[in-house]
């Protein structure tokens, strides 16, 4: 037993500790490096490493792609040489070197074409389409993605299909078609889930968050962006993480929280500077300029808008140029430099037509109208504003349309034409009422949209409803089974290690004590990872019963993680202050299940009771089940009630644990030994594990009394 526990200890230390030689990698790169030492097909493994490091460090990705290219040539492996050209192109693109990237993509395409390798060709064409997107050439990019989508569907290449679908969504988003974009994102997310591609899952969630933000659904936006952030942090995707910070900052900007917005933008900028990502830098400069403009720090705003425009010019990013140039012109206009602003607005109008970004044409026409009003040239202002309102109306741009109609009404009133002023004012009022009504309904719509999103994500296309429900139920049952099995194995292994370490505690020196604390820390982190995975999985579950089961499993994991957290945070490594534990557990459950008004009061009565880990874990799980049951079933909605949790000792290692409430009580024929729910069956099993007895009473509520 000692030998087994020691071997398990060594395994866990190696498993949980990060390889210090590869601080910038993740578990995927660690595995690939291990294989690289033993395999003869080094070019393929180097290319796999290069592709994964594209998410972590484009600079390292370039180095690995170059090494893969040399190795492929030595191995006379044309396929891997083509892959290395493609990986290198993507790394250069990520750093904003578009000409270099285009050259390398053409080399890759030529080799794939020579080999007749259609999957490689489609990957390269997807990257070429992405390059066009980054340069603001949206029509060309969309056409390429649509061709790739059709071809990947024919050849059943899910990864390429998912990438093309995502990017078609991005183009629809950029053109203001947010609902269409979300439909594409949801379809792509199903494909990414089936591939278990965490990089793709993170990016799609991030893009969906941006779309929700533009629709004004900031709660959904924040949730999706934070989900992407969690995935990127977990996988150490340092080249993706700054984008999550950037768009999180943009949500704070929309919510008027300039301090948090600038803090997020600065974190993003640090990441882009570290990665050499020029495109990301340009976007962040624009955001920072807008924040400083709102703070009326015009000099700082001008600095960042000019820096952003210069970067967009260098990158040949047409869309980025339009945004940066307009923001710069608006600040110059506010400072009274009308001539400089006029030149930039007119330049933007011409270039917005060339790039197909008609929404930007509307914004610049409106700004020019305001400029001529300030100069007293009302007739000329009306000409620009009328052009803007016609385009805004054709594109269904409600907010822009409302502002322009209001400005036209004011301008015609100044010109002494009350009839026209009244007509435009009525149009403005109609749009204003529509937007006001939409704002009033936003919370309801957001809840409905949340429900519809979850529902759509759980559907499986081309199956009948009965088959769809059955397949979903079986899949979720398997997930639940795997999760519980993993938890059981983890608890058994952890208990064996900790028990062995505890028996040898008196002989251990300080170094072993530190190691034991580290193990508790690692076990706690691993349990939290499992809890996070269950939380992520529950997002895609439609069946409420399965969703509740996953939530209950998550609560059980949290109750065990709390014990390990308390162990490594205190001096005693094997004894738990169970009163303190019960207080923290009760608070955690109350925050998850208690009503917003706090109608249920939970009283914990436990002082001076210390338990070892072998007793604390099963008793903690029992407490979790009984407290959760009380919150869920003991009281009617909005009903006030009281829940008492107590643990007492007679001083001779005999304990009495009680959970009682003054709620509605249990059914008359209820018997604890005949309970059908998993939670109460667990309570019975864990009570036997403690070699205890359980009693139940139904007087003025429900009471469970466990003696052990």
| Neighbouring residues of 147: CB distance < 8 A, sequence distance ≥ 6 | 125
The average pLDDT across 401-414 equals 88
How far apart (Å, rounded) are the C-alpha atoms in residues 409 and 430? 13
Q: Which two tokens stand for residue 482?
A: 């795997």
* pLDDT tens, position by position, 188-245: 999 998 988 888 999 999 999 888 888 778 888 888 888 888 888 888 888 888 988 9
Residue 434 lies in a domain: no
- Residue at which a domain ends, from 158, 189, 222: 222
How far apart (Å, rounded) are the C-alpha atoms in residues 357 and 344? 16
Q: Which two tokens stand for residue 70?
A: 């040399």
How far apart (Å, rounded) are the C-alpha atoms in residues 53 and 247? 22
Burial class (CB in 10 A: 0-12, 13-18, 19+), 435: middle
The share of the chain scoring above pLDDT 70, in percent, equals: 76
* pLDDT tens, position by position, 528-546: 666 666 666 666 676 777 6
Q: Which two tokens stand for residue 342?
A: 């006029």
103, 185: one domain: no
Q: Is the CB of residue 581 less than 8 Å from the CB of residue 613?
A: no
- Among 80-84, 247-251, 455-459, 646-650, name the one with the lowest average pLDDT: 455-459
Biggest alpha carbon distance in the chain? Answer: 97
49, 89: one domain: yes
- Residue at which a domain ends, from 543, 573, 603: 573
Residue 227 lies in a domain: no
* The pLDDT of residue 10 is above 60: no
The average pLDDT across 625-632 equals 84
Residue 143 half-sphere exposure, CB side, CA atoms within 13 Å?
A: 5
470, 553: one domain: yes
511, 547: one domain: yes
Burial class (CB in 10 A: 0-12, 13-18, 19+), 507: exposed
694, 587: one domain: yes
How far apart (Å, rounded) are the C-alpha atoms in residues 126 and 118? 12
3-class DSSP state of 508: coil
How far apart (Å, rounded) are the C-alpha atoms in residues 469 and 173? 32
| CATH number for the domain harbouring residue 611 | 3.30.565.10
Residue 455 lies in a domain: no
pLDDT of residue 504: 59
If you ran DSSP here, which 8-state letter would residue 464 be given?
-
pLDDT of residue 514: 47
| CATH number for the domain harbouring residue 147 | 1.25.40.10
569, 488: one domain: yes
pLDDT of residue 397: 76
Residue 376 half-sphere exposure, CB side, CA atoms within 13 Å?
A: 0
Burial class (CB in 10 A: 0-12, 13-18, 19+), 613: buried
Residue 669 lies in a domain: yes
pLDDT of residue 342: 93
Q: Which two tokens stand for residue 375?
A: 């100069």
Phi, psi values for residue 40, rounded to 5°: -90, -20
pLDDT of residue 458: 42
Q: Which of 222, 275, 230 is nearest to 247 (CA)?
A: 222
Residue 576 pairs in a beta bridge with: 611
The average pLDDT across 500-519 equals 53
The average pLDDT across 650-657 equals 83
pLDDT of residue 536: 60
62, 90: one domain: yes
Q: Is the CB of residue 95 less than 8 Å from the CB of residue 58?
A: yes
The total domain count for the chain is 4
pLDDT of residue 464: 39
The average pLDDT across 67-73 equals 92
110, 203: one domain: no
pTM over 0.95: no
Q: Which of 221, 277, 346, 384 is nearest to 55 (CA)?
A: 277
Residue 236 lies in a domain: no
pLDDT of residue 16: 35
Confidence of residue 462 (pLDDT cuts 50, 70, 90): very low
- Its sign, for the CA torsion 376, 377, 382, 388, is negative
600, 708: one domain: yes
3-class DSSP state of 218: helix
* The pLDDT of residue 644 is above 60: yes
* pLDDT tens, position by position, 327-361: 999 999 999 999 999 999 999 998 888 887 888 88
Confidence of residue 640 (pLDDT cuts 50, 70, 90): confident
Interaxial angle between packed helices 178-195 and 198-215, expressed in degrees from 0 to 180 and rounded to the nearest 10: 160
Q: Is the CB of residue 124 less than 8 Å from the CB of residue 112?
A: yes
503, 521: one domain: yes
Which of the listed ranges 321-325, 443-447, 461-465, 659-663 does the model predict with the highest average pLDDT? 321-325
How far apart (Å, rounded) are the C-alpha atoms in residues 42 and 549? 45
Identify the residue whose tokens are 């030529």.
110
Q: Between 398 and 451, whose confidence is greater? A: 398
621, 500: one domain: no
* The pLDDT of residue 466 is above 50: no
Domain that holds residue 210: 133-222
* The pLDDT of residue 5 is above 50: no
If you ran DSSP here, which 8-state letter would residue 609 be given?
-
The average pLDDT across 157-171 equals 92
Q: Which two tokens stand for residue 610?
A: 């210390």
pLDDT of residue 114: 92
How far apart (Å, rounded) are the C-alpha atoms in residues 82 and 188? 26
Q: Which of 171, 107, 100, 109 is nearest to 137 (CA)?
A: 171
The average pLDDT across 499-506 equals 58
Q: Which helix (H) or strand (E) holds 637?
A: none
How far apart (Å, rounded) are the C-alpha atoms in residues 559 and 585? 7
N-term to C-term CA, the chain: 27
53, 141: one domain: no
Residue 639 lies in a domain: yes
- Residue at which a domain ends, from 172, 200, 222: 222
* pLDDT tens, position by position, 287-320: 999 999 988 999 999 999 999 999 999 988 888 8
Residue 603 pairs in a beta bridge with: 644
Q: What is the mean pLDDT of the chain?
A: 79
* The pLDDT of residue 4 is above 80: no
The share of the chain scoring above pLDDT 90, in percent, equals: 28
């Amino acid at each position: 037993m000692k030998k087994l526990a020691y071997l398990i200890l060594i395994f866990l230390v190696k498993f949980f500790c990060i390889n210090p030689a590869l601080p910038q990698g993740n578990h995927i790169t660690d595995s690939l490096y291990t294989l690289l030492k033993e395999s003869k097909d080094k070019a393929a493994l180097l290319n796999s490493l290069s592709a994964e490091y594209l998410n972590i460090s484009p600079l390292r990705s370039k180095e690995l792609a170059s090494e893969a290219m040399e190795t492929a040539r030595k191995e006379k492996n044309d396929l891997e040489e083509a892959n290395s050209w493609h990986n290198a192109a993507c790394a250069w693109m990520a750093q904003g070197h578009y000409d270099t990237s285009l050259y390398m993509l053409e080399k890759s395409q030529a080799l794939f074409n020579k080999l007749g390798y259609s999957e490689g060709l489609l990957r390269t064409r997807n990257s070429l389409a992405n390059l066009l997107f980054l340069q603001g050439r949206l029509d060309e990019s969309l056409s390429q993605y649509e061709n790739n989508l059709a071809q990947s569907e024919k050849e059943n290449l899910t990864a390429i299909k998912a990438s093309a679908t995502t990017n078609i969504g991005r183009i629809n988003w950029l053109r203001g078609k947010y609902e269409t974009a979300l439909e594409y994102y949801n379809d792509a997310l199903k494909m990414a889930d089936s591939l278990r591609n965490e990089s793709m899952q993170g990016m799609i969630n991030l893009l969906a968050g941006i779309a929700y933000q533009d629709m004004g659904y900031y709660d959904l936006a924040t949730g999706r962006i934070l989900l992407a952030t969690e995935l990127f942090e977990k996988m150490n995707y340092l080249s993706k993480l700054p984008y999550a910070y950037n768009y999180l900052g943009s949500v704070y900007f929309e919510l008027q929280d300039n301090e948090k917005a600038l803090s997020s933008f600065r974190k993003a900028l640090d990441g882009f500077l570290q990665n050499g990502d020029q495109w990301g830098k340009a976007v962040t400069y624009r955001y920072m300029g807008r924040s400083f403009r709102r703070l009326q720090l015009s000099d700082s705003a001008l600095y960042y808008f000019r820096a952003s425009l210069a970067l967009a010019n260098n990158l040949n990013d047409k869309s980025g140029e339009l945004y940066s140039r307009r923001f710069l012109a608006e600040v110059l206009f506010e400072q009274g430099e009308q001539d400089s602003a006029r030149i930039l607005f007119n330049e933007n109008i011409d270039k917005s037509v060339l790039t197909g970004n008609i929404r930007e044409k509307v914004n610049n026409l409106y700004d020019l109208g305001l400029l001529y009003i300030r100069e007293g040239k009302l007739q000329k202002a009306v000409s620009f504003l009328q052009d803007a309102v016609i385009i805004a109306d054709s594109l269904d741009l409600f907010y822009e349309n409302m502002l322009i109609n209001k400005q036209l009404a004011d301008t015609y009133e100044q010109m002494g034409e009350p009839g026209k002023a009244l007509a435009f004012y009525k149009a403005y009022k109609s749009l204003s009422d529509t937007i006001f009504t939409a704002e009033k309904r936003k919370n309801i719509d957001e809840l409905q949209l949340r429900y519809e999103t979850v529902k759509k994500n759980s559907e499986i296309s081309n199956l009948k409803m009965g088959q769809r429900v059955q397949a979903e139920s079986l899949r979720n049952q398997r997930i639940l089974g795997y999760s519980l099995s993993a938890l059981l194995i983890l608890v058994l292994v952890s208990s064996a290690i900790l028990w062995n370490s505890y028996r040898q505690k008196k002989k251990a020196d300080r170094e072993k004590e530190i190691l034991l604390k580290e193990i508790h820390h690692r076990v706690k982190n691993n349990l939290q990872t499992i809890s996070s995975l269950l939380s992520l999985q529950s997002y895609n579950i439609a069946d409420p019963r399965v969703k509740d089961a996953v939530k209950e499993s998550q609560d059980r994991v949290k109750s065990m993680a709390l014990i390990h957290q308390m162990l490594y945070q205190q001096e005693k490594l094997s004894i738990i202050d169970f009163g303190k534990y019960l207080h923290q557990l009760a608070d955690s459950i109350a925050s998850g299940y208690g009503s917003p008004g706090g109608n249920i009061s939970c009283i914990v009565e436990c002082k001076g009771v210390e338990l070892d880990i072998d007793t604390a874990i099963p008793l903690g799980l029992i407490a979790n089940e009984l407290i959760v049951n009380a919150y869920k079933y003991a009281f009617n909605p909005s009903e006030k009630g009281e829940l008492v949790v107590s643990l007492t000792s007679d001083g001779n290692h005999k304990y009495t644990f009680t959970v009682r409430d003054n709620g509605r009580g249990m059914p008359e024929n209820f018997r604890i030994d005949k309970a059908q729910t998993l939670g109460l069956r667990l309570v019975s099993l864990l009570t036997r594990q403690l070699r205890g007895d359980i009693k139940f009473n139904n007087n003025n509520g429900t009471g469970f009394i466990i003696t052990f």
